[in-house]
Chains A and B, each alone.
Chain A
Amino acid sequence: MASQIRKIHQQLMDKEITCTQLVQDKLKALKPNTHNTVNALLDDVALELAAKVDAKIKNGDSIGLLEGIPFGIKDVYMLQGTYTTASSDLLKHYKSAYTATAIQKLLDAGAIPLVKENCDSFGHGSSSENTIFGAVKNATNPNLVGGGSSGGSAVNVALDYTVFSIGGDTGGSIRQPAGYNSVYGLKPTYGRVSRYGLMAYASSTDCVGPIAKSVEDVCIVLNAMSGKDVKDQTTYASKEILETDIATTDGIKTVGYFKNFIESEAIHPDIKSSFLAAIEKIKAKGIAVKALDFFDANTLVSTYYTLAMAETASNLSRLDGTNYGNRIEAENLKETYAVTRSKNFSEETKRRIVGGNQVLSQGFSDEIYLKGLKLRDQISENFENDFKEVDIILSPVTPNTPPKIGDSLKDPMAMYLSDAYTVGFSLGELPTLTVPQGTATGLQITAAKHNDELVLKFANFLKDTI
């Protein structure tokens, strides 16, 4: 699909539509909340901003590419004055005091925030069922999950309720719902986009990224959000990616894929055969393809969850009903903390906090947490070696198609294992894009660290290849 952002920009400039009308139409589509994607509508602020864009156009002033473009925000980002609930009971009434850097950059570019979007509570989930706002329904088949944790964002984009949405990806939370709903979703290199104002889940892998319907739109939004930020000292300065930079396949000679992902018993036969068919089409274009060795799914998933749980146990310790959140009074302060957290956190969130405290506690940290860190180093080293031999790594997004609503909550292990193909790239801090092509749940394109440009370039190539 061509760029929606450019199309709407042209329509606004040519006065074919007004920004107010555009925003009203999107709000009208979101209001019935057909797929449980909406935590809060931002009607007033959106319409006020739209009127300003219309006034500029009427005045004959030029507008920027993102000016007047309506977008959605996963409900874990701060936007001053709006509720930021993380889809949790604990923060049901929490109002953002400030605005996240990534969101502020979009506002500065003139984009219009429409909606705070449903997701798994604190990003804890792969199906967007772990939420107080009702399970997000898949855009194609409402009996299936929308994926997670950025489920509401992916479904809104797929249904054209938003032009693009900003998700958050810690272990696959942008890429997997993008795959489940047939849209593009990018997890940039760790540190390319500031995390300031993103509610922390696992700080060492948390990434901010766009979900959209075209490579071009992903690129436009990525450029707008990227850059060094003193408020997040893990950020780095990056160069703008130009459309001309990603138009050709220059520099892509070899593509790799992980043998064990495809030979695994857990992969659905249709996903396997369509992935291998895609590989053949790439070969036919004269690109060399190399099968690579990688860690088994159990090690990847266990390493990721061990580290993510440890980090979330620490990050969420401030949510105690005194510093933040809905307080439930008990006989003393300690009991108040314990009861508040017990009643206001979901089962999945509690499972992760408890797991995190287990691995960080004395006597366990050496054999679990520190060993997990060592495994992460080995995984990163493996990637470094792979990228000496290949330019791109191609993978399926998920081993299976989206489960039915209700199934994931019954079987947490199945849910954790469904992340087998996404978590490795998070641990490696690598740029990875889901494209809605190749298998029923799409393909992931990964490049070496800081090489987000190559990922987008290869996505453009795939558009014409498979």
Chain B
Amino acid sequence: MTKIMTVDVLSSIKGAQPSETVNQLFEVIKNADTSNNNAFNNNHNNGVSLDDLRDDVVIDSSATEKQIIIENFPKEKNGYLVVSKVIEE
């Protein structure tokens, strides 16, 4: 995809603009020297080992949990989530 997306579209925030202050932080990174570092090390590799994966099982939510999830729906009709209008593009 070659379409250029502006930050307000990327962020789904109407009228959003890049911040000058935040850009200053990014400039520091752009100018930093990382030449001594050839590859990612394992320092913050928190991935779980294959031997330690959790069981692939479906855990049913409690009745209370289900009830609260429904209460939290921004809009609900007959127990279903209601959206404004489907995107048609």
Contacts and interface: CB of A to CB of B under 8 A. Distances in A.
Contact of A341 (B12, B18, B34, B53): B12
Interface of A: 80-81, 94-98, 190-191, 204, 230, 233-234, 298-299, 301-303, 305-306, 309, 313, 317, 320-322, 324-327, 329-339, 341-342, 345, 350-355, 357-359, 361, 367-368, 371-378, 380-381, 384, 412-413, 416, 428-429
A378 B29 contact: no
A121 B17 CA distance: 20
Contacts of A361: 5, 10
Given A97-B72, A303-B29, A378-B34, A354 B12 contact: no
Which of the four size classes fits the interface of chain B?
35 or more
A306 B21 CA distance: 12
Given A204-B44, A350-B13, A98 B65 contact: yes
A375 B32 contact: yes
Interface of B: 5, 7-8, 10-19, 21-22, 24-26, 28-30, 32, 34, 36-37, 40-41, 43-44, 46, 48, 52-54, 61, 64-65, 68-69, 71-72, 74-75, 81, 83-87
A322 B11 contact: no
Contact of B84 (A230, A333, A355, A359): A333
B21 to A, nearest CB: 5
Given A355-B18, A413-B21, A333 B83 contact: yes
A101 to B, nearest CB: 14
A252 to B, nearest CB: 24
Determine the main DSSP class of B at the interface with A. loop
A87 to B, nearest CB: 18
- Ranked nearest first, the 6 interchain pairs of A and B with the lowest CB-CB distance are A380-B43, A302-B28, A342-B14, A355-B22, A327-B74, A97-B68
Given A302-B26, A313-B11, A368-B26, A97 B41 contact: no
Contacts of A302: 25-26, 28-29, 32
A12 to B, nearest CB: 30
A301 B25 contact: yes
B72 A95 contact: yes
B37 A342 contact: no
Contacts of A313: 11
Given A338-B14, A342-B14, A368 B29 contact: yes
A24 B24 CA distance: 50
11 contacts: A81-B64, A95-B68, A302-B29, A306-B29, A333-B84, A333-B86, A334-B12, A336-B83, A355-B26, A373-B40, A380-B41
